[in-house]
Chains A and B, each alone.
Chain A
Amino acid sequence: MYQLALTYRYLFSKVMPLLAAVGVALCTLMVLVTWSVMSGFLGMLINTGRTLVGDVSVGWPGAGFAYYDELIVDLEKDPLVEAACPMIETFGSITPPDARPRGVLIRGVEGASYARVTQFADTLWWKPVDEPLPKDKARMDPRLDGLGKAAWSEIYKNGLSLTRPDPRTGAAMPAIVPGIHVTGLNRRYIEGYYKPLLIERRQSTGKSEWIDAFLPLDPDLPVVVTVFPIDSMGRPYEAYSRNLPVANEFQSGVYEFDQSIVLMNIDSLQEMLKMKEGLRVVDAPAAPSAQPHGESFAGAPPPATVRDPARVTNVLVKGRGDMSDPARARALRERVQEIYDRFAARHNGEVPSAADIEFVTWEEQNATFINAVRTERTLLLVLFMIISFTAVLLVLAIFWAMVREKTQDIGVLRSLGAGRGGVAWLWVCYGLAIGLVGSTVGLIGSYLIITNINPIHDWLGKQLGLVIWDPKVYYFTVIPNRVEPLDAGVVFVCGILACGLGAFIPALRAAWMNPVAALRNE
């Protein structure tokens, strides 16, 4: 009983323990705010990372595999599968109108089916919007007006179909949809919207003019796309370049994607990569020794050929229901693998076996950047926990001093019959109480900060010019925050236990004090 009574009195009659409680509160607050923002960031990355890849991907990079239409039909018959679509993924380069080439990952897709399997339609940036972005109080986003709704709708439709109407005939021409940072011709503002940059264009007269580099609108601003085809046997052909207009641009929310991926019409890409159905020479006749005037040798047999079916490098699969749980995505992957097994058995020797081909879930596909952020989050937490360990040392130092100050009280307690265990428990109780007060204050403070992190951030920006989370750097307009009650509970309990731990050594010292020496202490 005396432990509770003394703990209560000690807690509110001294400044030092209250300072320790403030230290604990700050540490709890720091860990919780960091954890929630990093968890929110990770959650955002995981969600946005799934937007363009489907739930499971069947892949055979490079040469690709044939009969994919048949595989898609098989997949879509399964109750676990909602939709599937073909995709070609290859490395290439683009040269935007500013004539600065850059290496990219080119994905050939068929707009409608790709939109069924992924959230491609939602990622298209240039579209009519009614409401400004949360931070765009001045309504500066060009999508809000300017071209007018009809024009924005047209650009959006172009993006969905990966085509642009020919300005002369009106016929649909194949076009590309690059990530919004691929061309480097869009400037991102702090409020989160984009505006095209001005670029210099040289006219036929030799003069140059500055124009808005809004690629999805201007028919005279094509992009040169270059790919490196290989045949079904994996043998390389010469590089193939083609001028393609930009239909729209996408923003997935993952910077790595938005600055390196270019989507284009699958038919065009198949053609450029020589992955369309066609004849392949398998046994060319020996060249004649001497033919006058370059004429062909009339008696030579025609070359032996085989018909190569069209190929893709991937089939993307969307599962039925919510696949955000990695375990469900893995179950879907197992099912897709079974379906592919049967498909490969039917086409023995014509398609790669299930053992060779890659089956990856969205999580495995994005493992590089998800794990990087996970590691960063863990690293930050470890660092902050090490810093928070100073709270333990703070409590230890304060308690060490307090035990010294209260030596006579300890002697009195022992003389009145308090045991060593009881005296030790008094100090541990006291430490736990400081932890409880500090952690509670820290928990409440962190909740208030986390739930108001965006207004606080905006206010700091206005008053002090401080922009800690620059959207241009962190790639989100609203600071992501997610408080997991379990995580908060763990931090809360750890804060209390850390103080108990800090009090433990001084408590032992108090317990093993000789009561006579303690009473004589001055």
Chain B
Amino acid sequence: MMPLLSIHSVHKTYRLGRVPVPVLHGVSLSVEPGEFIAILGASGSGKSTLLHLMGGLDRPDAEPRGRIEFQGRDVTTMASGELDGYRNNAIGFVFQFYHLLPEFTVTRNVLLGAMIRHGVLAYMGRRADLHSRAKELLEKVGLSHRLTHRPQELSGGERQRVAIARALMNDPPLLLADEPTGNLDHETGGKIMDSLLALRRERKLTLVVVTHDAEIARRADRVVRLLDGRVA
């Protein structure tokens, strides 16, 4: 079976002023459909960088050239607009610090991906369907009573649930979570992971989670360890 995402010898170097700072050194990885992978590693090992490259938020080094293929299509050679579409349709991101827009209500935050996907007329045409889907997702993460609240009125756990619902709004096959419980207490973090895994089962999602948490790693199908920018 074709992997959902395959990474072949990817390098990534950042620049601090004129000083090159290599972060990834030829990372290769394959993610099968429906798989739950936990990426573990010390701070600065390149976990988040790898996640950003997988999600098309950043591009790997051109030399030496590696490849990131999603369902057989090379993400690294996609044009900018194509890459935007890839992020919008194929990927759902969940961040450690939730990154909800404070001006929007919970429902609008969830709808954001759909607003980006559709133009004004198309959005207005599907408004009812999209709102009902957003509501359904919020019900699934246990926030049906918070639809019109603003993010600042929610607890950390609730915010992260909104972020999960937002990531799933466009029904992406791959969910990338960057330390989703890193900012939460142990109990809340556990509940968040429960929600994520329940959604994964229900939607047959592929899940890649960057974490320091051994408990999360224990629940994953596979653990990938990064050490100094290499898969250990």
Contacts and interface: CB of A to CB of B under 8 A. Distances in A.
10 contacts: A1-B119, A1-B120, A412-B112, A415-B55, A415-B57, A416-B93, A416-B116, A417-B87, A417-B117, A420-B80
A409 B116 CA distance: 13
A516 B57 contact: yes
A409 B101 contact: yes
Interface stretch (A2-10, A50-58, A308-316, A353-361): A2-10
Which of the four size classes fits the interface of chain A? 20 to 34
Interface string B110-127: 001101111110111000
Nearest to A422: B116
B84 A419 contact: yes
A418 B117 CA distance: 8
B175 to A, nearest CB: 12
Interface of A: 1-2, 4-6, 9-10, 13, 408-409, 411-420, 422, 514-516, 519
Given A412-B99, A415-B55, 20 more contacts: A1-B115, A1-B123, A2-B116, A6-B103, A409-B101, A412-B101, A412-B112, A413-B112, A413-B116, A415-B57, A415-B87, A416-B88, A416-B113, A416-B116, A417-B86, A417-B89, A417-B170, A418-B116, A419-B81, A515-B58
Contacts of A515: 57-58
B36 interface: no
Contacts of B58: 514-516
Contacts of B100: 412
B99 A13 contact: no
B47 interface: no
B67 interface: no
Interface string B79-100: 0110011111100010100011
Contact of A411 (B55, B99, B108, B170): B99
Given A408-B99, A411-B99, A516-B57, A417 B113 contact: yes
A6 to B, nearest CB: 7
Contacts of A414: 57, 84, 87
B52 interface: yes
Interface of B: 52, 55, 57-58, 80-81, 84-89, 93, 95, 99-101, 103-104, 108, 112-113, 115-120, 122-124, 166, 170
A416 B58 CA distance: 13
A5 B197 CA distance: 32
Contacts of A411: 99
Contact of A417 (B88, B95, B122): B88
Nearest to B118: A1
Given A409-B101, A411-B99, A417 B57 contact: no
Q: Tell me which of B80, B101, B117 has the highest count of chain A C-beta atoms within 10 A of its own C-beta.
A: B101
A8 to B, nearest CB: 9
Nearest to B119: A1
Nearest to A9: B103
Contact of B108 (A5, A415, A422): A5
A382 to B, nearest CB: 39
A258 B3 CA distance: 95
B36 to A, nearest CB: 21
B200 to A, nearest CB: 20
Contacts of B115: 1-2, 5
A510 to B, nearest CB: 14
B112 A2 contact: yes
A519 B99 CA distance: 8
A418 B170 CA distance: 13
